[in-house]
Amino acid sequence: MNPQETQGIQCQVDDLLAKALIRESSSPCAVPTLLLRKKYGSMRTCVDGRVVNKITIKYRYPITRLEDLLNKLHRATIFSKIDIRSGYC
């Protein structure tokens, strides 16, 4: 990146840190960030998350739909953790 882009990203990061919208990460991987010029001349930040997506562990089981869980628990009055967990296995 050229110095102007680096300064622009640093300015945006400092602003977001001050507003507490982001925080420093302790993650061992880095995500590339680019500044792209918008249609009217201002800059926007683009984050390339493909690197993180490659190392992310995928779900073993699909997430059950809420309607299916509610149908299983129809007319039940007392719930336990076992009832809820059984919907995901």
pLDDT tens across 7-58, in order? 888 888 899 899 988 888 777 777 777 778 888 888 888 888 887 888 887 7
Contact of 46 with 36, CB cutoff 8 Å = yes
- Give me the pLDDT at residue 19, please: 93
- Give me the pLDDT at residue 84, please: 63
Q: What are phi and psi of 44, to 5 degrees?
A: -130, 150
- Number of H-type helices and E-type strands within the chain: 4, 2
- Give me the pLDDT at residue 62, please: 73
**Residue of 28, 22, 34, 30 lying closest to 51 (CA atoms):** 30
N-terminal to C-terminal alpha carbon distance within the chain: 48
pTM exceeding 0.75: no
Q: What is the mean pLDDT of residues 3-8?
A: 83
